[in-house]
Amino acid sequence: MYKTKNDLPEKVRAEMVTLLQQRLADCIDLVTQAKQAHWNVKGPSFIALHELFDEVYAHAGDSADLIAERIVQLGAVAEGTARIAAKRSGLAEYPLEIANGKDHVEALSRALAYTAESIRSSIDQADEMGDKGTADIFTEIVRSLDKDLWFVEAHLQAER
């Protein structure tokens, strides 16, 4: 850890960095999964889903950036390479053989839901450790994930 005048105790900062690194890996994986869906979706809803998946990609990238910058603010190095993300991510592997819109919607909604659940849990962990700044960043990210999940899942919810 780098020296910093940040008043959070070093033990708290170190624990937060560990948590943030995990969430960074998940967000980077979500970025790549959204792009996989964006590139490969087919079917009658192609353009709507193609554009929606690109929005999810952009939001996930913004989330990864917020997390990485928080890691650095706390005095550590953000570990955000594809290789590190692949090792650490908790997301299920994205199915490469799918093409139709409904299958991509299902796969991407699972990835969004998992990421939101993990981030939501991390809000509580950061709050318990007394890091309101990290908890606030996680709260901002989960609101974005919940909105993206709503938009993606709407394509599955036409029939009850």
- Residue 131: which residues within 8 A CB-CB, separation 6 or more? 8, 12, 13, 16
Let me know: does 30 contact 84? Beta carbons within 8 Å. Answer: no
Which pTM was predicted? 0.95
| Domain presence at residue 159 | no
1 within domain boundaries = no
Distance CA 141, CA 126 (A): 14
The residue segments making up the domain with residue 91 are 10-153
CATH of the domain at 45: 1.20.1260.10
In angstroms, the Cα distances linking 90 to 13, 44, 99, 113, 119 are 22, 32, 23, 12, 12
Residue 160 has pLDDT above 70, yes or no: no
Task: List pLDDT tens digits, range 94-145.
Answer: 999 999 999 999 999 999 999 999 999 999 999 999 999 999 999 999 999 9
Quick check: is 160 in a domain?
A: no
What does the block give as tokens for 107?
């796969």
Q: What is the mean pLDDT of residues 78-100?
A: 96
Higher-scoring residue by pLDDT: 6, 60: 60
